Homo-oligomer: A and B are copies of this chain.
Amino acid sequence: MAIPRAAKTLRRTRIQEEKEEQILEAALDVFSARGFRGSTIDQIAEVAGMSKPNLLYYFRTKEAMHRALIDRVLYTWLEPLRAFDAEGNPEEEIRSYIRRKLEMARDFPRESRLFANEVLQGAPHIEDELKGPLKQLVDEKAEVIRAWTKSGKIVECDPYHLIFSIWSTTQHYADFDVQVRAVLGQEHAGDERFEDAARFLEQLFIGGLRPDSPRP
C-alpha cells in the first residue's frame, strides 16, 4: 500500500523533485496573475500539464502550494536589500540597489506580482513574514542609512520611507506593467523602458539625496 502523501516520505525521489518543481512553476504563473482566491487548482493543473488529483498528491491543499511557493521565493526576493553594504559608498550602494531591483522587476515580474497580490489583499498568508524577517531586515538596513545621514554622506531623511520609495518605484514596472505599457504606447514595448526607468530613478534618487543638494 502506498504512503498516502509524497510529503510524508522521508527521502524525496527524483520524480518528486521534478514534479514539485513543475507544479510550483505553474503555481507561480497562476497565483501571480490572479491572486490566491482568484486562482483554481484546475488552472494550475492545466498549466503544469498534470491532472488535478496528481497536484494534490504532491501538495495536500491549494494553501500548501501557495505556502511552498512563498517560502521558495521570499528569500531570493529580499536578496538585493540584504546586499546593501554599510561599508560601501552610499551613493553607489543606493544606485546599485535601484539597479538590482529594476532588474528583478524586469526578469522576475511574476515573483513581484505574487507578493503584490498577497500584500494588496491584506497579506493573509504572509503576515508573519512581514512582521518578522522582513521588518528585521529593513530595521537593520534603515540603521545603516541612518548612519549615512548622521555622518552627512547623504541628506538627512527618513530611511524607512527611502526604502519604501525604492521598492515602490522599481516594483511598479513589474506590478503595473500593463498600465506602463498602455501609457507609453507600443513604441516602448521592448526592454528599453527599463533602461529609461533606471536612468530616471538614479537621477532622482542620487540628486534628491545628495547632501549638498539645495534644500527647500
Contact = CB atoms under 8 A, between A and B. Distances in A.
B121 A183 contact: no
Contacts of A180: 164
Contacts of A131: 182
Interface stretch (A14-22, A62-70, A152-160): A152-160
The majority secondary structure among interface residues of chain A is: helix
A205 B208 contact: yes
A57 interface: no
Q: How many copies does the complex hold?
A: 2
A215 interface: yes
A123 to B, nearest CB: 5
B215 A207 contact: yes
Contacts of A37: 34-35, 37-38
Interface of A: 33-38, 113, 116-117, 119-123, 127, 130-131, 134-135, 138, 155, 157-158, 160-162, 164-165, 167-169, 171-173, 175-176, 178-180, 182-185, 196-197, 199-210, 212-216
